[in-house]
């Protein structure tokens, strides 16, 4: 509560101090400003007053009428700020003066008069400040004369002025007014007092509002503080209930959030602590178990150690006995070996006998098989040779047919060759004649060309004739004109001109006819030329065609010749082949005969060999029986020997293993000792573990107690 109070009072104190400073500064400024404005106003007023007074007092001044002037002055003095006033001539004579206070009369200082305008000076008497205004009284000279004349005053001085300076107006006196700032000071003081009162009221109001506001602002803080205090006792269910949206509201929200977070954390810690407690209990139990187990183990190990030592001693005894057994079994083994050797020899002899018989038997049976195979082969050979003979006969037939065909073909190809030769000759002839035609064509074309040229020449000659006829016609015309103009005398001339004209007309007619003829001739020759060109093309084509035909025929001829030759060759070889095949057929037939004979002989041989085979089989069976009995004997002896060997080996094994066992037991003893030591260590460790677990348990309990301190659930 102390803190809260100090904060609040401090705030109020500082803010009101600020107010006071600000108010004071403002009022000082305001006071100064007001004072200045009022003083300016005062000066302005004084200026107007003195100016007006100077103007108004012109008439009174000129008349030197002191009463009028005094009245004017008194009128001015009614103004509360004016403290003194005087009207003085230029020479310093006082015409009228008024004072509000007689003490001013002695104390006002001298002021030098201005030549024109209002002069303002300020001075102080005691604490009072004064403004002094001096204005000249300006009087126009002429009017002054008139006025003087009117008023019957002195005339000398103005006349002198007039004559000397000749100004139109002159300064003849001054008006002086004094104004005190006392009234202003009074007014300002009044204002100041009012201002102070307003300031104080404002201050009080401000402080009150401030106090209220701070109270309002800080109250949630108090709430928060109370909640925090309660929380500090461990009650985490508390919540600050501040429902405002300013910073404090925010703070309360954050505070609540923080409490919730802390509560959650502590909840988790509680759970973990509980788990820890149970775990540590378990650990303690197990540690105790470990300790008791270790103790039991220690005892058991000690017992095991002593029993193993006993075992070791009995082992040593067994070893000695086994050594004796081993020597006796070795002795019996050697005698059995000898027996086995003799039986093996008998067996070996029997074996060789049996194998000899076996070999003989197998070779005989092999021989029999071979004979059988030969017989079957010969049979097959016989059949094959018969088949071959048949097919050979067929081949023979077909070969002779081929021979016949070949001969026919040969004849045909020879005929083809002949025909082709004849055809080629004909084509060559055709080609040559076409070539001749072509040459003739070109000659004809040349002739036509020449004809054309001649025709052209005739045409040009005709043109000349035509031109001459034209000229003559013109001449005849002109002649006719001239004849006409000559009148009677020209008449005979006119007749001649007419005749000339007629001649000309006839000439031009005939030239035209000739021209037409020439034109038709030209056309004809063009046709002829075109026809020639066309037939020339055709001739060219037939030349190339006939040449191609010639070439084709030549090729045919060549191939026909080639084929004839080939045919001849084929025919020759076919004849040879036929001869060959005849010989082959004959020899094959002979082979068939021989094969038949061999086949019969082989069959006889086969029967004999079969009989030998039977005899051998009997012999072999006898030998096999003898061999089996010997083998059985050998096996029996071998088995005995092996048994003895085994016994011997076993005795050795037992001896070795017993020795090894003894060694192992010694190792075990050592290990047991080590185990004993380790177990002892274990025991010690288990006891220390127990104490540690106990300690841990205690710690966890303490933690649990601490966690319990926080109240989380509302109900708890």
Partner 1 sequence: MDEKELQFAIFKLGDLEFGIDIMKVKEITRYHKISKIPGTPPFIEGVINLRGVIIPIVDLRKKFGMEPREPDKKTRIIVATILKRIAGLLVDEVIEVLRIPAENLKPPPQLGESFKADFLSGVAEKGEEIIFIIDFEKLLSQKEQVDFSKFHEMLSDTQMDNNKPDSEDSKQEKQYSKSTRKSSRKNKKKKSKKSGDSNEE
Q: Which is nearer to partner 1, 485 or 583 (CB)?
A: 485
Q: How far is the CB of 477 from partner 1 (least distance, A)?
A: 5
Question: Distance between CA 121 and CA 132 in Å, rounded?
Answer: 5
Q: How far is the CB of 461 from partner 1 (least distance, A)?
A: 17
Structure tokens at 660: 């090894």
Q: Which is nearer to partner 1, 118 or 497 (CB)?
A: 497
Q: CA dist 614 to 364, 524, 533, 618, Å?
A: 10, 126, 113, 7
Q: How far is the CB of 473 from partner 1 (least distance, A)?
A: 9
Give me the count of residues in the chain: 716
Structure tokens at 502: 């007629």
Find the Cα–Cα–Cα–Cα dihedral 496, 500, 501, 506, rounded to 10°. Answer: 140
Tell me the three-class secondary structure of 12-79, residue by residue: HHHHHHHHHHHHHHHHHHHHHHHHHHHHHHHHHHHHHHHHHHHHHHHHHHHHCCHHHHHHHHHHHHCC
Q: Which is nearer to partner 1, 177 or 504 (CB)?
A: 504
Q: Residue 81 in 3-state DSSP?
A: coil
Q: Which is nearer to partner 1, 481 or 517 (CB)?
A: 481
Q: CA nearest 475: which of 495, 502, 500?
A: 500
Q: How far is the CB of 482 from partner 1 (least distance, A)?
A: 5
Q: Which is nearer to partner 1, 232 or 485 (CB)?
A: 485
Q: Residue 236 in 3-state DSSP?
A: coil
Q: How far is the CB of 484 from partner 1 (least distance, A)?
A: 4
Q: How far is the CB of 516 from partner 1 (least distance, A)?
A: 18
Q: Which is nearer to partner 1, 500 or 552 (CB)?
A: 500
DSSP-assigned letter for residue 245: S
Q: Residue 118 in 3-state DSSP?
A: coil
Structure tokens at 343: 């039986």
> DSSP letters of 352-395?
HHHHHHHHHHHHHHHHHHHHHHHHHHHHHHHHHHHHHHHHHHHH
Neighbours of 709 (CB within 10 A): 10
Partners of 133 in beta bridges:
120, 177
Structure tokens at 169: 């107006």
Backbone angles phi, psi at 234, to 5 degrees: 110, 0
Partners of 179 in beta bridges:
82, 131
Q: How far is the CB of 506 from partner 1 (least distance, A)?
A: 15
Q: Which is nearer to partner 1, 471 or 510 (CB)?
A: 471
Q: How far is the CB of 478 from partner 1 (least distance, A)?
A: 6
Neighbours of 447 (CB within 10 A): 12
Structure tokens at 672: 């047991």
Q: How far is the CB of 546 from partner 1 (least distance, A)?
A: 56
How is the chain split among helix, strand and coil, in percent rounded to 5? 85, 5, 10
Q: Which is nearer to partner 1, 200 or 474 (CB)?
A: 474
Q: Which is nearer to partner 1, 474 or 594 (CB)?
A: 474
Q: Which is nearer to partner 1, 266 or 480 (CB)?
A: 480
Q: How far is the CB of 454 from partner 1 (least distance, A)?
A: 25
Strands 169-180 and 82-89: antiparallel
Question: Distance between CA 24 and CA 444 in Å, rounded?
Answer: 149
Structure tokens at 213: 């506001």
Q: Which is nearer to partner 1, 188 or 475 (CB)?
A: 475
Q: What is the contact surface with partner 1 in residues (CB under 8 A)?
A: 470, 474-475, 477-482, 484-486, 493, 497, 501
Q: How far is the CB of 511 from partner 1 (least distance, A)?
A: 13
Question: Distance between CA 496 and CA 492 in Å, rounded?
Answer: 7
Q: Which is nearer to partner 1, 497 or 557 (CB)?
A: 497
Q: CA dist 584 to 190, 347, 396, Å?
A: 177, 65, 10
Residue 102: alpha-carbon gap to chain centroid: 108
Q: Which is nearer to partner 1, 7 or 486 (CB)?
A: 486
Q: Which is nearer to partner 1, 354 or 508 (CB)?
A: 508
Tokens 């094994």 belong to residue? 653
Question: Distance between CA 137 and CA 61 in Å, rounded?
Answer: 8
Q: Which is nearer to partner 1, 162 or 493 (CB)?
A: 493
Q: How far is the CB of 487 from partner 1 (least distance, A)?
A: 9
Q: How far is the CB of 457 from partner 1 (least distance, A)?
A: 21
Contacts 24+ apart (CB under 8 A), 672-680: 672/301, 672/304, 672/305, 672/308, 673/305, 675/301, 676/298, 676/301, 676/302, 676/305, 679/294, 679/297, 679/298, 679/301, 680/298
Find the Cα–Cα–Cα–Cα dihedral 220, 224, 225, 229, rounded to 10°. Answer: 150
Structure tokens at 411: 């004849």
């Amino acid at each position: 509560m102390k803190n809260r109070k100090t904060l609040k009072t401090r705030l109020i104190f500082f803010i009101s101090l600020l107010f006071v400073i600000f108010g004071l500064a403002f009022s000082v400024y305001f006071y100064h400003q007001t004072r200045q404005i009022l003083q300016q106003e005062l000066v302005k007023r004084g200026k107007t007053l003195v100016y007006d007074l100077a103007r108004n007092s012109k008439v009174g001044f000129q008349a030197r009428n002191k009463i009028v002037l005094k009245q004017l002055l008194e009128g001015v003095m009614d103004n509360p700020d004016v403290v003194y006033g005087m009207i003085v001539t230029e020479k310093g004579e006082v015409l009228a003066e008024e004072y509000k206070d007689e003490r001013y009369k002695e104390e006002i200082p001298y002021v030098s008069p201005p030549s024109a305008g209002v002069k303002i000076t300020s001075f102080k008497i005691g604490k009072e400040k004064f403004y002094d205004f001096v204005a000249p009284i300006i009087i126009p000279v002429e009017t002054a004369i008139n006025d003087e004349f009117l008023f019957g005053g002195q005339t000398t001085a103005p006349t002198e002025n007039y004559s000397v300076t000749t100004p139109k107006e002159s300064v003849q006196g001054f008006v002086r007014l004094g104004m005190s700032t006392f009234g202003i000071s009074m007014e300002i003081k009044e204002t100041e007092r009012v201002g102070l009162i307003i300031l104080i009221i404002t201050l009080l109001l401000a402080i009150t509002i401030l106090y209220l506001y701070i109270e309002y602002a800080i109250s949630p803080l108090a709430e928060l503080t109370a909640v925090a205090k309660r929380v500090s006792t461990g009650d985490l269910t508390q919540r600050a209930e501040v429902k405002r949206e300013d910073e404090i509201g925010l703070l309360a929200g954050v505070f609540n959030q923080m409490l919730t977070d802390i509560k959650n954390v502590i909840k988790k810690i509680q759970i973990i602590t509980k788990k820890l407690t149970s775990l540590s209990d378990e650990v303690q139990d197990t540690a105790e178990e470990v300790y008791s187990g270790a103790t039991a183990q220690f005892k058991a190990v000690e017992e095991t150690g002593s029993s193993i030592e006993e075992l070791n001693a009995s082992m040593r005894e067994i070893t000695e006995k086994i050594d004796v057994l081993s020597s006796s079994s070795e002795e019996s083994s050697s005698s059995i070996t000898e027996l086995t050797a003799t039986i093996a020899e008998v067996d070996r002899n029997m074996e060789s006998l049996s194998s000899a018989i076996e070999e003989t038997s197998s070779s005989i049976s092999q021989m029999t098989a071979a004979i059988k195979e030969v017989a079957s082969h010969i049979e097959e050979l016989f059949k094959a040779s018969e088949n071959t003979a048949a097919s050979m006969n067929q081949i023979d037939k077909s070969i002779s047919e081929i021979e016949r065909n070949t001969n026919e073909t040969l004849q045909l190809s020879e005929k083809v060759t002949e025909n082709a030769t004849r055809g080629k000759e004909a084509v060559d002839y055709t080609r040559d004649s076409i070539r001749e035609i072509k040459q003739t064509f070109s000659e004809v074309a040349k002739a036509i060309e020449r004809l054309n040229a001649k025709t052209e020449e005739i045409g040009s000659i005709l043109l000349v004739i035509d031109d001459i006829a034209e000229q003559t016609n013109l001449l005849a015309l002109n002649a006719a004109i001239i004849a006409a103009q000559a009148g009677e005398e020209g008449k005979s001339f006119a007749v001649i001109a007419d005749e000339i004209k007629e001649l000309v007309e006839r000439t031009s007619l005939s030239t035209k006819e000739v021209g037409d003829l020439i034109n038709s001739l030209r056309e004809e020759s063009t046709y002829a030329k075109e026809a020639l060109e066309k037939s020339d093309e055709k001739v060219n084509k037939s030349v190339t065609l006939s040449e191609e035909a010639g070439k084709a025929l030549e090729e045919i001829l060549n191939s026909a010749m080639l084929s004839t030759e080939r045919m001849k060759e084929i025919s020759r070889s076919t004849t040879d082949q036929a001869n060959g095949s005849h010989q082959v057929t004959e020899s094959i037939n002979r082979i068939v005969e021989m094969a038949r004979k061999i086949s019969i002989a082989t069959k006889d041989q086969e029967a004999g060999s079969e009989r030998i085979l039977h005899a051998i089989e009997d012999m072999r069976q006898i030998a096999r029986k003898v061999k089996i009995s010997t083998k059985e004997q050998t096996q029996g002896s071998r088995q005995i020997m092996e048994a003895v060997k085994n016994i011997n080996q076993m005795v050795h094994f037992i001896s070795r293993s017993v020795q090894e066992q003894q060694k192992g037991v010694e190792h075990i003893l050592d290990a047991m000792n080590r185990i004993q030591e380790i177990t002892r260590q274990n025991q010690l460790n288990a006891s220390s573990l127990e104490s540690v677990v106990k300690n841990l348990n205690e710690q966890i309990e303490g933690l649990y107690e601490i966690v319990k301190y926080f109240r989380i659930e509302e109900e708890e």
